[in-house]
Chain A
C-alpha cells in the first residue's frame, strides 16, 4: 500500500512539470543543433570570404590564364599572375614525398600489425604518434638547419633548399598519418582470412602479401590519400626548405632544383601585400584553388573509409571489376612502365653508382625469385619490413636528438622568464610562451563547448538524414582545410571584416575553428563507445533524454573528451600559419593587457628566428626545444589520460 502511494507521488509530480520539461528538452536540443550547425556556417563563410576576395582576379586575368599562366611575378612592373609553376611545384613535392613515404609507411604498418609482439607494438605506437605531434615549424627548422645542409654537402650544390629537401621533409611529416591509418586497415582484416590462408600452407609472408594487404587495400589507399592531403596543405615546413623559386624544374625531373608550392606562396606573400590590391586578390585566388584541391583529396579519402566501415558491418558482395587476366596484364604493363621511369630518372638525376645499385635490386629480384624458396623470400621480406620500421624510428631519434642536444644549453631561468633582446638573438622568450598559452587556452575555451555540443547532437539527438550528412560533410571539409587557409580566412573575416584587428582574440578564434573538427570527432568517438544498454536502462526508468545524456552518457565519456581537448591544445600550440596574419607580432617586451592586442607566439618566433635573424643559433634551438617540449607535454598528458582511463574502464 505504502509502495503504491509512493509511486503515485512520483508520477503526479512529473505530470505537473511535464510541460516545463518538454520545453526544456526542446530548448536543449535546439542549442545542440546550433552547435552542430556551426560547422556548416564556418565552411560557408570560409568559402564565401575566400571567393569574395579572390573573385576579382578570376575576372581580371581569367580563370584559364590564372591556372595555366607560366609566370608568377606579382611584383613585376607588368605583374603576371600565372600559378601554373606553383601547381606543378605542389604536385612535384607531393609526388616526391609519396615515393619516399609510401613504401616506408606500409612496411612499418605491416611490421606493427603483423610482426611486432604486443609489447613492441605498445612502445612503437606512441613513437609514431610523437612523430605526428612535432609542430611543422619545428620540422621546417630541422630541415633548414640539418637536412638542407646535408643535401648541399652530399650533392655539392650551392644551396640545399630544393625539391628533394621539401619532399623528404614532407614525406617524414606524412609518415604518421599513413602508418596509423594503414595499420588500422591491416589489423581489421577478419582473422578468418589469415587462418584460411595459413591452413592451406601459405607462409606468413604469402598470407600478408597476398591476402591481408590486398584485403586492406582500400584502407591503405585512403591512408595514402590522407597523407597526400597532409603534404599538399602543409605550409611552414615546405616554405622553409623548398627554395621558393617560382619555376618549374628544368629538366622536369631535376630534384635538385628549388621550387615553390601554392601554400608557400601564401605564407611568404600574404604578410607583405597591400589589402585590396590585385596581388591580394590573386593570393585569395590561390587559396580558393588550394582549398578545392585539398577538399577533393580529403573527401575522397573520407568516402573510401566510410564505405569500408559500412561495408564491414553490412556484409558486402562487391563485384570485381576486372578479371584476373586483365589484372595480370595490367600489372605486367605497369611493371614495364615503372622500370622505364626508374631508368630515365636515375640516369638523369643520380650519380651512376647509385643508379647501378638501385637497379641491381629489382634486377636481382626479377631473376632470383624463381630460384629462391618461399622461406628465403619470407626472410628477405621480413628484413625489409623491419628495415622500414628502423628507418622511421631513426628519423624520429635523429630529429629529437638534434634539437635536444643543441637546445638544452640555451635553456635557463633567464631564457624562460625574460623578454627577447636584439631581435631575439639574446634575452628570452617569456612573452612568446605566455602568448602561446593565451592563444591555446582561448582557442580551447571556444572550441570545447562548440565541439561537445556538436558531437552530442550528432550522436545522441539525430538519426542519419540530410541535415546530419550536411553537418558531417562540413566537419570533414573543415578537417581537410589547410591551416594557411584558416589564416587567410581569419585575416579577411575577423581581422578586417569584423574589424577586430591583428589581435589575440582573432588568433584564438582562428585556432578554435581549426581544432573544432578534432574536438567534434574525438567527442563523437567517446560518446559512441558508451554502450547503448546504458542509455536504454536510463530511459526505461523514465529519465528524459537530457537527463540520460548528462547523467549517464557524458560522465563515462569525460576521459575521451578530455583527451580530445588536450590533443587539440597540442595541435593549436604548434601551428604557425593560422596565427601568422591574425594574431602575432615578432617582438614585444610586454604582455598584452587586452584580447585586442597582438601577442608573441612560440612557433612564429621560431619561424622568424630561423628564417630572418642570422646568428641566433642557440636561441633558435632553445625556442625549438621549448616549443617541442610544450607540445609533446600536451600529447603525453593526452596519451596518459587515454591509457589510464582505458585500463580503469576494463577493470
Chain B
C-alpha cells in the first residue's frame, strides 16, 4: 500500500496545473464557477485547447490519439480540471462513441469519425432512450428496415442531451422482432441533417433546455453506418453504458463543489454567526467531507482493479451510485447554505448591489434541481442496484 503519488505523478500534476493556468480561458472558468450556461462555441474552444495539447481523448489508446495515461494520471487530470473550473468534456463523442468505434468499428469507420471527434468537426449525441424505453432499454421500438444500401428509420428518441448542438446521433434501433428483445437491436450512426429528422427541445425542472426529443420519419441511413454486426447492438450498448457510468460518478465535480461550499460557509454570516460555526451545518459539512475522502480512495481502488481486468465491470455501478449520492448531497448543502437567498428563479437573479449572494452561489438551487438527473440517467440508481445484486453478489 502506498497512498502517495509517485514523483512522476507529482510532476504530472504540476504539468497539468501549469497547462490549466496558461491555457484555460478565464471567461470559461468564470462561467463554470458561476454555473452559467456554456454555448457550443465555449465547449468547442476548450476542446480545441485540449486537443492541441493531446489531452482531449483521455480514454482512448495512444494509437488513436489518446494520451496513453494510467488511471491515476486520468484521475489527477480530472481532479485538477475540476479544481480549475474547466468546462467538462462533453462525453458523447469522446467518452462514449470513441471507445465504441475503437472496440467495434471498422477501420473505415475509425478513420472517418475519430479524427472528426478530436477536431470538433462532429458533435455527437446519444439516441438510446425512448418514451416507452427508459430503464427497460431493450424494449426500444425505433425501427430500422433494410432497403437496398440503406436502412429506413422510423420512431422517436427522447432525452437527447445537447442534441441542439449536435450534427450526428448514435442510435440504438430495432432491426429484428425475433427472439429476445436484446437480440434484435443494432447500433447505427445517423447524420442529423438527413431529411425526415425533427428535433424539439424539452424544458427541464429548473427552466433550462439541455435535452431534446428526436423524431425520425422515413430517414434513410447508409448501411455502412452500422457499427458491429446487425442485431449485435446490445453488446455495444452495454459496453458504452459502462463507460458512461464511470463518467457520471463525477468525483472531480464533488471535490469542486465541496471546496466551493467550504469557502462560502466560512464567509457567509447568518443569524449572528458564520455558517461554518453553526454546529448543525458544520456536522453536515464534515460528514460529506468524510464520505468524499473515502470516495477518492474507492475510486482509485476501482480504477486499479479495472486496469487489471481490462475494462470497468460492475464496480462502475458502485461508483455511479456513491458518486451521484455524494454530488447530490453537496448540491443539497449548497442550496441550504443560502437560506432564503436561494429562492430567485435563475433568470431573475439580481446583480450588482442588489445581489443576494455572490455570483458563484446564485445557481445553487437550480443546480440542485437539475442534478436530480444524476441518479436517473445513465441507468437509474435502482437499475445499478439490480445490476450489482445480480452481477456482483449473485442474488
**A and B assemble together:** no
On B, residues with C-beta under 8 Å from A are none
A positions within 8 Å CB-CB of B: none
